[in-house]
Amino acid sequence: MNERTRIGGFTLVELIVVLAIGGLLLTLTPPLITAALPGVELKAAARRTAGALRQTREIAIASGQDAAWRLDIEAGRYRVPGRNRDGALPDGLEIELIAAQDEMESERIGGIRFYPDGTSSGGRVILKHGDRGYQVGVNWLTGRILIADWERE
């Protein structure tokens, strides 16, 4: 008997079909990822802002002197005191700063001050994109920094 044994493998047609499906998935995936990015970018910006505020509080406590975190709303840039620590927020975000009047240099530049005992002047930074956003709040009495969801009313 002359039986042919078949060796396992894929045919050329099967490989072409798999490659076509893979190519289709590669063309469909990037728009799905970029649609999700504003939310991810927004959350990351809120975390960076909270981190910079916490760092400013730590500087005030460690140095025994007031330390002020400054934000340029139009440029989307902030400054942590000492050692020229600047940060930038992503483009396309709507930024709002609610702070003590004494800490506002102008309509577009203001900040939040921390004192050596850990307290602060208090305030809130709201980062928005469309109807969603996050608010980074600083409690004036404790200096505690929290991130919370924000929604347009």
pLDDT of residue 25: 85
Determine what percent of the chain is predicted with pLDDT higher than 70: 89
Is the pLDDT score of 117 beyond 60?
A: yes
- Averaged pLDDT, 126-143: 95
Q: Which of 27-36, 76-85, 100-109, 141-150 has the lowest mean pLDDT?
A: 27-36
Per-residue b/e over 76-111, b at no fewer than 16 CB within 10 Å?
A: bebbbbeeeeebebeeebebebebeeebeeeeebbb
Closest CA to 97 of 121, 81, 131: 121
Q: Which of 32-46, 55-69, 116-130 has the lowest mean pLDDT?
A: 32-46
Is the pLDDT score of 4 beyond 60?
A: yes
* 124 vs 91 pLDDT, higher one: 124
> How many other β-carbons are positioned within 10 Å of the β-carbon of residue 23?
10
Largest CA distance in the chain: 99
Give me the sheet containing 132-138, strands edge to edge: 94-99, 123-129, 132-138, 145-151
pLDDT of residue 31: 67
Is the pLDDT score of 28 beyond 90?
A: no
Q: Which of 4-8, 44-48, 133-137 has the lowest mean pLDDT?
A: 4-8
